[in-house]
Chains A and B, each alone.
Chain A
């Protein structure tokens, strides 16, 4: 009884990649159970998933939340976190570099503030995958999977929603400002795990989260009257009908009520509540506002905040591109790290800066760089990851990984690990196909502190 059940040899149950039939599980059956107890939907989905064969209980991780900063378009690694000052000019580009706080480690010269905090960062310079098209690369860097024609994989945020559910009445997965791309969605998981999108940019003047505030003319007491009336109206139907669908719907109404009615939860979205000095420090611009709001949200209990910043597809004129966009990022990011540090959140919050790929080793004819997926950089910080380190390296021209090449599988496996989620665990896709959260990855211990 001590040994975990082994797959039965010679049955299809033996093949973990396909079609292991367990009891019919889908969103709906879970809802049915919800009617009988006080378990939340996420609890149920979780406990139900534990019944499967390739399963692991989550454990106490080093991190509680993630801030995922995605730089869409494919940010050049040469101009940012992996400069090659000794490469010929057509490779290294025109931009200079700056010595970081970690001896011998250089960053691009638009990252001066970040360089001063490099002892908090874990710079991965040997990231590699096989996809040079935007959408495919983006898919890799949101899901940890190569795109498949047969299956849509869930994003890391949806997987975390699925595994952990909400905390402090806040949605577990929030996108700032909107759904950044289709790969940030739920994939084969139920859309119940989709991100909560603000629908409005915190940098903008009239920032207001979509549907969070009560409509004009309705105050708290009127809303509470409405709730009472709604529950009275629902009564007749609820007496008559018993369905998993109804329970599932109720679950989300309850979540909405708790979000609307919890002052604390609503306050998490209120960027105005931050001191003016801190807002200035972050920068009153897209990068600053989004990162500051991200900090507020993880502080309040959101598990994964995804935000995007800028456009990095610099086929032309890469120098002005960097000079235009990177300083704001630099300021905001450096402030984010020191702010997280100051509030004690850094040790339990993973910050990940990534892009779909890097850019070509050589400057092209239009003074830009093109898509390059063979090697690029990702920056990690906090949450039990190794600060002040550089993981792996690219070769002299930043065109291939030189040592410790790492793919999205290992990166995501390791990030999941910091949250206490085992990447090898299987979730159920339609057709009752159990699919690993990450296929074939492993924890790269060198990334952990």
Chain B
């Protein structure tokens, strides 16, 4: 064990993120170029920085797996040796490395694979490029064979060869008369269907290779799915061995796979065509381990960057980052691959991180050899921060107060000031109303919806710590008028759907898949799903005094049964423990866990959603599609944000302040040579179209007009709409969420023909310009046309017109001509301009 830990230490030897001595309170003077701090220095010391341009030497070796355990003659181990060079590049040197065993009799080596030869313990020493590393080897029962097991040996074959996928025999009705459970969620049923469902040819105990199961799969007889493997393959031999042994089922004591690991855990590949072999180790409930590389399914989340073949060999493609994932049994694990252009020379420019956000964003960029873009100018910042924090545009007065100010602290001050505005709260009430699906319908009366909304607005407005608010929401009992947050359970009454919604909104996970089969690309099994749903099986509902009111209470009875076998599922936290529920309301217990540091996804989910608001994409994106196969682009950043958010007692404003202060948020959209291909690591700012509500509010703001929405007073803004059912042509056309589902995908940002037509010809832009009458008013006040041009520019797009633009407009106002039509057209143009429609 000690050796193992030493080894682990070596595995991640030079983490350039050791940021102990980082300066983090440099807010004030950040635009004054200070000395090169921290990062670069830390890098040079470590010697593995990508900025190191000298001839790279082997810096360390990584040997996988960290210990080699061979049990029974059927076991084996694929060995992988990875060399880490001083420039940070890694190479697969398994075939070049020298391997020496302290006791040569223990194992037999064929290529990179080790087979047991004799019982005993020893050490394997691997040397390459002047470095060497030893890993322990342990061989037991070398002479004993292991009996074939249906679950351990046969079920994985169905997954590896694609037999039990949804488009083949895993379909609910099977395929061509033969059904397997999807991704093997039901081994018992599969055994039954193989051995008992059909008499005759499916299995041939006398001549195993003549079993239809095998003949179809090797293509000896016509098979819709084609040839899956060769007759002389290991997989085929294993199937024959099982049939030959009379197709045994397993005793109930058969161990289950408890976790898997993929090695190497990280690789930095130097140019297209570079290769890296992976090895996958499974751990079982009886403590044994097994090399399952040949039985794992592999996947790259970006084939163009790194692709993987069925044998687990990764090939590098174009520059970028990809996650290589392996799936075995119900487990999926991933490892990070960074691919760089061959022989890239790059040095990370000196940075002065404002806070931990910058440190962590920059650290990732450094790994990718990308330089961040510069910080944006004051005009851009002013518009961006107003739109993001308040959903409004800075007024001309705001502009004149902020832009010329020489105060080095002015950005910080502005952020703090905007955080206290009521518009800031309203934006987040709107988000929450989407997540909680606040809308009236057949069950929820407009009155209940309004009370629900008011409860929410009050909670957010008072900055109630998030954990308390969510606990109050999810554990509430009472009337939907008196305790309006109980509407949450009135909105959706289906037990399974409630569980799915809770997981999606508060943990960012879509567990729907596991309703019918083990989630194929995440950890969630059907057991997890139904055990979690069981928390919501005892919600009682009855009518209140007012016919529009319902009362939600703890009925104390009702269970959830597993669809396979009908077992009653005891409530169990999603990815957590099975709590003691005696005498307690299940929802109360669940809510206490859900909104607490014990649930690691709670803070992460919320910080990710907040991040996404300010950057246009989450650190995990989509924000409500967190799964292993959709990895975080910067796990350290998300972890740190979540940790601090938790430690601050879920202080939302502090989180927003940290984000907005960072250079990462304040970057320009202009890209540089190194980061021009980046779309997800926040190396530069991204254009973001305004949300439907903000867009309408901004048009009303700059035209000086008021809107009237049903149920709201004149002048209320679109962001304040209470009921998801309330909409207008404008809002619907621009993709407002109607709050029918919890999905973040309800908000649509894609452009459509109807949007373009509406802005060009519709009554919103044209009507509001006339209705507001600003131009006529200014002309009446004898404001010069060119000055009006400037006012319009500052009002709509937050900047003064450039000299070129002024020069272009000048001739349009000849003396004596009526400037109004020209100014009207300009106003119309500005409201149709891309610069207006996007936050940039």
Residue of B304, B310, B625, B757 touching A431 (CB-CB under 8 A): B625
Residues 795-818 of chain B, each 1 if its beta carbon lies under 8 Å from chain A, else 0: 000000010110010000000000
Contacts of B228 in A (CB 8 A): 9
Residue of B671, B729, B802, B826 touching A236 (CB-CB under 8 A): B802
User: When the two chains form their complex, are residues B165 and A17 in contact, meaning their CB atoms are under 8 A apart?
Assistant: yes
User: When the two chains form their complex, are residues B761 and A18 in contact, meaning their CB atoms are under 8 A apart?
Assistant: no
Contacts of A212 in B (CB 8 A): 757, 761
Tell whether B109 is near chain A: CB-to-CB under 8 Å.
Answer: no
Measured CB to CB, the closest approach of chain B to A314, in angstroms, equals 22
Tell whether A215 is near chain B: CB-to-CB under 8 Å.
Answer: yes
Tell whether A342 is near chain B: CB-to-CB under 8 Å.
Answer: no
User: When the two chains form their complex, are residues A10 and B161 in contact, meaning their CB atoms are under 8 A apart?
Assistant: yes
Residue of A18, A241, A251, A255 touching B165 (CB-CB under 8 A): A18
Tell whether B154 is near chain A: CB-to-CB under 8 Å.
Answer: no
User: When the two chains form their complex, are residues A12 and B327 in contact, meaning their CB atoms are under 8 A apart?
Assistant: yes
Tell whether A253 is near chain B: CB-to-CB under 8 Å.
Answer: yes
Residue of A10, A22, A149, A245 touching B512 (CB-CB under 8 A): A149
User: When the two chains form their complex, are residues B687 and A9 in contact, meaning their CB atoms are under 8 A apart?
Assistant: no
Chain B residue at smallest Cβ distance from A10: B310
Measured CB to CB, the closest approach of chain A to B771, in angstroms, equals 13
Contacts of A56 in B (CB 8 A): none
Contacts of A320 in B (CB 8 A): none
Chain A residue at smallest Cβ distance from B793: A233
Tell whether B259 is near chain A: CB-to-CB under 8 Å.
Answer: no
Contacts of B298 in A (CB 8 A): 10-12
User: When the two chains form their complex, are residues A211 and B297 in contact, meaning their CB atoms are under 8 A apart?
Assistant: no
Residues 730-760 of chain B, each 1 if its beta carbon lies under 8 Å from chain A, else 0: 0000010000000001001011111111101
- Assembled-state Cα–Cα distance A192/B670 (Å): 27
Contacts of B78 in A (CB 8 A): none
User: When the two chains form their complex, are residues B835 and A245 in contact, meaning their CB atoms are under 8 A apart?
Assistant: no
Measured CB to CB, the closest approach of chain B to A395, in angstroms, equals 24
Contacts of A230 in B (CB 8 A): 828-829, 832-833
- Assembled-state Cα–Cα distance A227/B766 (Å): 14
Most buried by A among B166, B304, B687, B745: B687
- Assembled-state Cα–Cα distance A253/B760 (Å): 9
Contacts of A96 in B (CB 8 A): none
Tell whether B363 is near chain A: CB-to-CB under 8 Å.
Answer: no
Residue of A12, A16, A233 touching B829 (CB-CB under 8 A): A233
Tell whether A318 is near chain B: CB-to-CB under 8 Å.
Answer: no
Residue of A214, A243, A257 touching B687 (CB-CB under 8 A): A243
Measured CB to CB, the closest approach of chain B to A258, in angstroms, equals 10
User: When the two chains form their complex, are residues A211 and B166 in contact, meaning their CB atoms are under 8 A apart?
Assistant: no
User: When the two chains form their complex, are residues A260 and B757 in contact, meaning their CB atoms are under 8 A apart?
Assistant: yes
Identify the stretch in B95-103, B132-140, B346-354, B513-521 within 8 Å (CB) of chain A at 4 or more residues: B513-521
Most buried by A among B689, B735, B756: B756
Tell whether A167 is near chain B: CB-to-CB under 8 Å.
Answer: no
- Assembled-state Cα–Cα distance A403/B757 (Å): 49
Task: Knowing A149-B512, A190-B750, A191-B735, say if A11 contacts B758 (CB, 8 Å).
Answer: no
Contacts of A222 in B (CB 8 A): 821, 825
Contacts of A196 in B (CB 8 A): 753-754
Measured CB to CB, the closest approach of chain A to B378, in angstroms, equals 16
User: When the two chains form their complex, are residues B829 and A11 in contact, meaning their CB atoms are under 8 A apart?
Assistant: no
Contacts of B835 in A (CB 8 A): 233-234, 236-237
Measured CB to CB, the closest approach of chain A to B63, in angstroms, equals 26
Tell whether A24 is near chain B: CB-to-CB under 8 Å.
Answer: yes
Most buried by A among B327, B748, B757: B757
Tell whether B454 is near chain A: CB-to-CB under 8 Å.
Answer: no
Residue of B297, B301, B521, B755 touching A252 (CB-CB under 8 A): B755
User: When the two chains form their complex, are residues B838 and A245 in contact, meaning their CB atoms are under 8 A apart?
Assistant: yes
- Assembled-state Cα–Cα distance A194/B622 (Å): 22
Q: 8 Å CB contacts to B: which residues of A3-25?
A: 6-19, 21-24
User: When the two chains form their complex, are residues B829 and A192 in contact, meaning their CB atoms are under 8 A apart?
Assistant: no
Contacts of B308 in A (CB 8 A): 11
Number of A-B contacts (CB under 8 A): 186
Tell whether B309 is near chain A: CB-to-CB under 8 Å.
Answer: yes
Tell whether A365 is near chain B: CB-to-CB under 8 Å.
Answer: no
Interface size class of A (residues with CB under 8 A): 35 or more
Chain B residue at smallest Cβ distance from A29: B679
Tell whether B445 is near chain A: CB-to-CB under 8 Å.
Answer: no
User: When the two chains form their complex, are residues B687 and A15 in contact, meaning their CB atoms are under 8 A apart?
Assistant: no
Q: 8 Å CB contacts to B: which residues of A249-285?
A: 249-253, 255-257, 259-260
Contacts of B512 in A (CB 8 A): 149-150
User: When the two chains form their complex, are residues B751 and A21 in contact, meaning their CB atoms are under 8 A apart?
Assistant: no
Chain A residue at smallest Cβ distance from B688: A245
Contacts of B753 in A (CB 8 A): 171, 196, 252, 255-256, 259
Q: 8 Å CB contacts to A: which residues of B351-380?
A: none
Contacts of B729 in A (CB 8 A): 199, 210
Task: Knowing A24-B302, A246-B834, A251-B751, say if A226 contacts B829 (CB, 8 Å).
Answer: yes
User: When the two chains form their complex, are residues B167 and A17 in contact, meaning their CB atoms are under 8 A apart?
Assistant: yes
Tell whether A225 is near chain B: CB-to-CB under 8 Å.
Answer: yes
Contacts of B301 in A (CB 8 A): 21
Tell whether A430 is near chain B: CB-to-CB under 8 Å.
Answer: yes
Contacts of A253 in B (CB 8 A): 756, 760
Tell whether A248 is near chain B: CB-to-CB under 8 Å.
Answer: yes
- Assembled-state Cα–Cα distance A294/B751 (Å): 25
Task: Knowing A210-B754, A225-B825, A431-B630, say if A9 contacts B165 (CB, 8 Å).
Answer: no
- Assembled-state Cα–Cα distance A6/B162 (Å): 13
Tell whether B686 is near chain A: CB-to-CB under 8 Å.
Answer: yes
Task: Knowing A18-B165, A252-B751, say if A12 contacts B757 (CB, 8 Å).
Answer: no
Contacts of A448 in B (CB 8 A): none
User: When the two chains form their complex, are residues A10 and B160 in contact, meaning their CB atoms are under 8 A apart?
Assistant: yes
Chain A residue at smallest Cβ distance from B821: A222
- Assembled-state Cα–Cα distance A256/B832 (Å): 13
- Assembled-state Cα–Cα distance A226/B669 (Å): 28
Task: Knowing A10-B162, A150-B513, A210-B757, say if A229 contacts B520 (CB, 8 Å).
Answer: no
User: When the two chains form their complex, are residues B761 and A215 in contact, meaning their CB atoms are under 8 A apart?
Assistant: yes
Contacts of A243 in B (CB 8 A): 669, 686-687
Measured CB to CB, the closest approach of chain A to B629, in angstroms, equals 7
Contacts of B840 in A (CB 8 A): 237, 241
- Assembled-state Cα–Cα distance A170/B1 (Å): 71
User: When the two chains form their complex, are residues B745 and A19 in contact, meaning their CB atoms are under 8 A apart?
Assistant: no
Most buried by A among B299, B513, B686: B299
Tell whether A344 is near chain B: CB-to-CB under 8 Å.
Answer: no
Contacts of A199 in B (CB 8 A): 729
Residue of B161, B520, B756 touching A256 (CB-CB under 8 A): B756
Measured CB to CB, the closest approach of chain B to A213, in angstroms, equals 7
Contacts of A190 in B (CB 8 A): 750
Contacts of A197 in B (CB 8 A): 754
User: When the two chains form their complex, are residues B756 and A255 in contact, meaning their CB atoms are under 8 A apart?
Assistant: yes
Task: Knowing A8-B310, A236-B835, A256-B757, say if A18 contacts B829 (CB, 8 Å).
Answer: no
Residue of B303, B500, B762 touching A211 (CB-CB under 8 A): B762
Task: Knowing A9-B229, A12-B298, say if A192 contacts B752 (CB, 8 Å).
Answer: yes
Tell whether A1 is near chain B: CB-to-CB under 8 Å.
Answer: no
Tell whether B830 is near chain A: CB-to-CB under 8 Å.
Answer: yes
Contacts of B752 in A (CB 8 A): 191-192, 194, 252
Task: Knowing A249-B837, A430-B745, say if A18 contacts B520 (CB, 8 Å).
Answer: yes
Contacts of B327 in A (CB 8 A): 12
Lowest 6 CB-CB distances: which A-B pairs, in order? A10-B310, A17-B166, A256-B756, A15-B165, A211-B757, A237-B835
Q: B interface vs A, CB < 8 Å?
A: 160-162, 165-168, 226, 228-229, 297-304, 308-310, 327, 497, 500, 510, 512-513, 515, 520-521, 622, 625, 629-630, 669-671, 686-687, 689, 729, 735, 745, 748, 750-758, 760-763, 766-767, 802, 804-805, 808, 821, 825-826, 828-830, 832-835, 837-838, 840
Of the A-B pairs whose beta carbons lie under 8 Å apart in the complex, a sample of 5, sorted by A's number, is: A12-B298, A19-B521, A21-B302, A210-B757, A248-B751
Given contacts A15-B165, A24-B304, A225-B825, 10 further A-B contacts (CB under 8 A): A12-B297, A14-B162, A150-B512, A190-B750, A211-B754, A215-B767, A226-B829, A237-B834, A252-B756, A260-B760
